[in-house]
Homo-oligomer: A and B are copies of this chain.
Amino acid sequence: MVKQRFRATSYDVAEAAGVSQSTVSRALSGDPIVAAATRERIVEAARRLNYHIDSSASRMRSGRLNTIAVVVICPEDEDVRAFNPFHYALLGGICAAASARGMETIVSFQGAPDRLDDHFERSRRAIGMIVFGTSENRAAWDYFQASADDGCHVVCWGAPAPAHELPWVRADNHGGARAAVEHLLDHGYRRIVYVGEADCPQRQFAERYDAYAETLQAAGLAPRIMTLEPGLSRHEQGRRAAAALLEAGEPFDGLFTACDDIALGAMALLEERGLNVPGDVGVVGFDGVKAGQFSVPPLTTIEPDFAVAGKALVNRLQALVDGEDGPQGRVPVRLVVRGSALGRVATPA
């Protein structure tokens, strides 16, 4: 219970173990040249004195940083409540992957245009940055693109805008969208509309649309897109898109949406208007967010492997820092079948 005021240095350990300070440093950094018996004495003395290597001193002398900065781009108002939970799962995957590689993660949530900050690498706090989050905050993405242009090491999830040339890691959007559409087709849905954007800052959405269109055409069916109203939450965009589809009058019986939040919004509106999901309309989302487990019906979705995504981002950043400009990364996805696209119910008329 006693808080220690005294903090041991490597000199204290050296004295206690009867060796020089440099030998302590070698022993505790795992240098195999140190004799086993010597190492044992040193480790024991360090334990007794509750000694731990001072990270600042070690970093300064060695130049090795062993830290990654993770920047989560939020909406400009920085409201984290409304934030897409997909990004939180990705954050967890990145932190776990970094930890598995013996690296630490400095995490910052950035949104407000006047508070964007990329000092991490310049001040030698981190070897580089992993950036991800909402593609809506254009100012933030432009800012970190500028950081990269300026010599910082930046890797991102997604890569939002065509103009942005950041090294990226993405989901297998093609395979995922194909699996989603095939799932709908297999369950008898034929008039399947894509809800999202085909030509938008969020490149991943465009990839999902392309694979959707290809898969439908391969089945001899025509693609159809319902685009989103800008400036709204994904959920609200989904609601409005579904409403617009009903208003348009053109019949449809399936929705493949650019992300889960859009799907949840669309489902809610369809139910309100008296349509049954999946009996009248089948719905498949993309992201694997937790809320989809609890919706009524539970949402069938495409879920990226968050652990693999985290590893891929960390590896890519390390490679970039090491000067290897490796290939872009793709993260595998899987179809999570829940209740929202289990098949049409034949209705009279």
Query: Which A residues are within 8 Å of any B CB, using their own CB?
Result: 1-4, 50, 52-57, 59-60, 67, 70, 74, 78, 80-83, 85, 88-89, 91-93, 95-96, 99, 104-109, 115, 119, 122-125, 149, 151, 235, 264-265, 268, 271, 288, 290-291, 293-296, 306
Contact = CB atoms under 8 A, between A and B. Distances in A.
B80 A93 contact: yes
B306 A80 contact: yes
Contact of A106 (B1, B96, B105): B105
Contacts of A57: 56, 60
Contact of A95 (B1, B93, B109): B109
B288 A291 contact: no
Contacts of A295: 294-296
A57 B53 CA distance: 15
Contacts of A78: 96
Q: How many copies make up the complex?
A: 2
A307 to B, nearest CB: 9
A115 B59 CA distance: 23
Given A83-B88, A83-B92, A291-B291, 4 more contacts: A50-B122, A55-B125, A99-B115, A295-B295
A89 B83 CA distance: 9
Contacts of A271: 296
Contact of A107 (B52, B107, B268): B107
B108 A104 contact: yes
Contact of A85 (B88, B93, B149): B88
A124 B50 contact: no
Nearest to A125: B55
Contacts of A293: 235
Contacts of A95: 107-109
Contacts of A80: 88-89, 92-93, 96, 306
Contacts of A294: 235, 264-265, 268, 291, 295
Contacts of A2: 151
A50 B78 CA distance: 29
A147 to B, nearest CB: 12
A149 B1 contact: yes
B290 A82 contact: yes
A258 B108 CA distance: 30
A54 B124 contact: yes
B296 A55 contact: no
